[in-house]
Amino acid sequence: MGRRRGCWLLLAMLLGGPLRAAWQDDYAAAQRLYQPGAAAADLDAVVALSERALLQQPPARRVPEVQYLLGRAAYDRGLAAQALAALRAAVAARPEVPEYRLWLGYASWLDGRPTLAIRLFQALLAESAAPPEVRKSALTWLGSLHEPPELRALEPGELLTLPGARLRHHRGEAAAATVRQALEAARATLLERLGISLDEPVEVVLFRDLAEYQEYHRQRQIERPEWSTACTVNGRIFTYPAAGEHDALVATLTHEYTHVALRAYADDRVVPTWVDEGVAVLLSNQFGGTRPALRQAPQLLSLRALLVPTFSAYETGVARLAYLQSRAMVEDLLRQHGAVKLRAWLRALGQGQEAGEAFEAVYGLAMGAWYDTWFREGLDAN
């Protein structure tokens, strides 16, 4: 027995390496360092060791677990793009592992992709075979993202499948036909004006009236302002038929469909609010007479004021000004540079670049510098 072991050792030496592969040493060291509450330096070491282990080409069946460790450490270190890339790779190789998908949800949220995170958490919660602790974590996160499962019971019960959409509505709702027409028009407008199409069907929740719409969002703990007639949350459109006005519903759905499409084109990354809202009101032809109204405004809003997460935080007058100004800015951005560059900017966002960094790379100047020029000259544009 000892002679046979000596032969194996001699063979290993002749082949130029130890019996234990080098990647295993790095991976084992990374595992030892990765502990709850690990210091930043230790997390940095885990990331570096895991990356080095992957470079040494471990067996294919072991690669996902190394990627999983790398993704977790990168997440804990706040390295969103790195965590997302590693965990996406782990899930692609082993989609049946619930823990991999749970942490991919965490990383998606950290990277500013809440819709993707919510879909992952919802799927895990519905998966009875997932470990209890995984399902519990998914449920906790859904609550923190204002998407608790019990909200579904407050939504209209009828489901109608349309081309490119799913409509939740009350039985006998007359506006359902208008929704279909509006979504068809929105798809055509978006493709014609921006060259953007939405591949996955969008879900529209059509409440009976304003009271039901407002109560639903109160239960979500995200109250809507009095002037709100619709909103897009995590890839779903929520609205109601405002006084049965056909044209108003068409404009509203075009606006909200544009939000869904822009964010989907940016791979669920958050689009700067002035662009997101400016394109939406432009394509839905809302807030007409933009420039005369802006010329009469006592003061325009700063770029920082247009980069808030949502204009719904503003009272009616300021919100109206924000929409008007965003539309004018987007009109000029498209007039100056065209839809091709807007699509390139959205793609750069989807690839993980920050909005300002991507803007400067695509348009050739900083977003703030572009805004300053627009502020001086924009209202004089035709």
pLDDT of residue 276: 97
pLDDT of residue 229: 86
Delimit the domains of the chain by residue range. Answer: 15-139, 155-262, 266-382
243 CB-near residues (< 8 Å, 6+ apart): none
- Residue ranges of the alpha helices (H) in 220-315? 246-265, 273-283, 290-296
Q: Sign of the CA dihedral 95, 96, 100, 104? A: positive
Supply 78's token pair: 């706040």
pLDDT of residue 23: 92
Q: 214 to each of 154, 207, 221, 222, 253, how far by Cα in Å?
A: 12, 10, 11, 9, 17
Cβ atoms within 10 Å of 149's Cβ, excluding its own: 14
Q: How far apart are CA 98 and CA 134, in angstroms?
A: 7
Q: Are 266 and 150 in contact (CB under 8 A)?
A: no
Q: Are 47 and 79 in contact (CB under 8 A)?
A: yes
Q: How far apart are CA 158 and CA 179, in angstroms?
A: 14
Superfamily assignment of 15-139 in CATH?
Answer: Tetratricopeptide repeat domain (1.25.40.10)
The topology (CATH level 3) of 155-262 is Glutaredoxin (3.40.30)
Q: Terminus-to-terminus CA distance in the chain, angstroms?
A: 91
pLDDT of residue 15: 39
Domain 15-139 identical in fold to domain 155-262: no
pLDDT of residue 9: 35
pLDDT of residue 83: 96
pLDDT of residue 378: 67
Q: pLDDT by residue for the chain (382 residues), tens digit each?
A: 444 444 433 333 333 444 458 899 999 999 999 998 889 999 999 999 999 999 999 999 999 999 999 999 999 999 999 999 999 999 999 999 999 999 999 999 999 888 899 999 999 999 999 999 999 999 999 999 888 888 888 999 989 888 888 999 998 877 777 888 888 888 899 999 999 988 888 999 999 888 999 999 998 888 888 888 889 888 899 998 864 577 888 888 899 999 999 999 999 888 999 999 999 999 999 988 888 999 999 999 999 999 999 998 899 999 999 999 999 999 999 999 999 999 999 999 999 899 999 999 999 999 999 999 999 886 765 5
Supply 358's token pair: 């991507």
pLDDT of residue 59: 94
pLDDT of residue 380: 67
